Each structure stands twice: as C-alpha cells, then as structure tokens.
C-alpha cells in the first residue's frame, strides 16, 4: 500500500506574503534584516532634502504608524515657505524621487548652465510649457536651470507673457531654494547669484534679432 506524502499546503500558506503591497513588504523585509529603511537611504531628522513636486523641504521627524497590522515608517517633511507638511513612507522614497541636496559640482554645473545660450524650440507654446513644467517637477537642478535660462528676459527684451513669467518664477524659486540650502545663503543672496549668472550669458535676442538656438516647428505665441 502506497503511503501518502504529507501535504505542503499548510507550510506554503504560512510562508506566503500576507500582502502584495510593496510598501508593507519592504517594511517587513527591513525589520527582518534588523535594518530600517531610513538607515539604508541615509536621511535623518533636521536634514534638508529635495522632493521633486515641491522642492526643498526639511525632515522634521521619522514616525511609525500602524496600517493594516503593519508598522509603516514615515518621513515627516516640512515645506516652510509653502506652509505645508508631507508624510512620505520610507519605502516610497525612491519611487517619488526624493533625494539629498545637490553636491557642489552639480550646483556649479547648474550655475554654469545659466550662462549658456538660450535654447528655444519653435513649437507651440502649450507644448513647450509642458516640457518646462516637467523639467521643474523632475527635481533635477540642472534641468531646472535650463528652464530659468530659456525663459529669462533681460531689460532689452520683450516682456514675458503671464504664463512664461509663472514658469520662470517657479523654476527660479526652486533653484534659488536649493542653492541657498547647499551654500547656506539667504534667499535674496541666492537669487542675486542666479541673476548675476544669467547676465553673464550671450546677449539675448531683441525683437529685431533671430532667436538663439531654435528648432523648426509650429510656432504659437505664449498665452
């Protein structure tokens, strides 16, 4: 008579993950290894960071909350100028693009970018505006500097449209805040540094001049 083998279903069920939620699995794995996500990533309380969608913020605390039976670790981030507080699960840090402040060489490259020739595509403004906004929200300091450079207008140039000015100010503010945090400057000093770099660039085109570094395509005036 053939003996029946013990069923493995009970053992398999007990070893299977309880949830498919990546955040919960990541927290569970971190606890099993004896290390928390904050240690792996290296962010700590009082540190200034960059959150792509909001710019520079400061980690005020690292909290734990229980969600569906799991303890979830959260960074509590304050954006003082925006009067906003954000809580980010530590396992989600990489996916949202949260990062440390830029290194000195990246800041240098961003400032050098401001002195370059503006590159304005001859495409519809709505398309360009989307590209500028995507660069601003990318969290990439050099990409943000490109937006500042391309939308900058000197005194001899035509005034910006309302939408151009809004994007220019948003990009300049993001860049100024990060440079201020990295170089420990006041906001006004950081803005002056950006302005001085922009003025070092090639003479900007006037109404009678050809635009600098353009690409062919449909053209629509900025609204």
Average pLDDT, the chain: 78
Q: What is the pLDDT of residues 174-210, one digit of tens each?
A: 999 999 999 999 989 999 999 999 998 886 544 444 4
173-179 contacts, C-beta under 8 A, 24 or more apart: 173/55, 174/55, 174/56, 174/136, 174/144, 175/110, 175/141, 175/144, 175/145, 175/148, 177/55, 177/56, 177/81, 178/50, 178/55, 178/56, 178/101, 178/102, 178/107, 178/141, 179/107, 179/110, 179/111
- Strand 214-215, strand 120-121: pairing: parallel
Is pLDDT above 70 for 16?
Answer: no
């Amino acid at each position: 008579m053939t003996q029946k083998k013990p069923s493995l279903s009970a053992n398999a069920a007990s070893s299977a993950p309880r949830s498919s939620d990546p955040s919960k699995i990541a927290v569970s794995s971190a606890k099993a290894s004896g290390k928390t996500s904050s240690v792996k990533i290296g962010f700590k309380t009082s540190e200034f960071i960059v959150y792509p969608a909001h710019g520079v913020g400061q980690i005020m605390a690292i909290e734990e909350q229980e969600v569906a039976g799991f303890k979830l670790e959260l960074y509590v981030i304050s954006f003082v100028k925006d009067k906003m507080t954000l809580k980010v699960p530590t396992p989600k840090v990489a996916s949202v693009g949260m990062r440390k402040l830029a290194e000195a060489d990246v800041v240098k490259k961003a400032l050098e970018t401001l002195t370059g020739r503006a590159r304005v595509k001859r495409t519809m403004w709505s398309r360009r505006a989307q590209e500028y906004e995507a660069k601003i929200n990318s969290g990439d300091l050099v990409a943000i500097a490109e937006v500042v450079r391309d939308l900058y207008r000197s005194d001899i140039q035509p005034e910006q449209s309302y939408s151009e000015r809004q994007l220019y100010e948003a990009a300049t503010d993001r860049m100024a805040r990060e440079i201020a945090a990295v170089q420990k400057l006041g906001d006004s000093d950081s803005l002056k540094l950006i302005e001085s770099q922009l003025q070092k660039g090639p003479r900007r085109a006037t109404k009678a001049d050809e635009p600098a570094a353009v690409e062919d395509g449909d053209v629509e005036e900025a609204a």
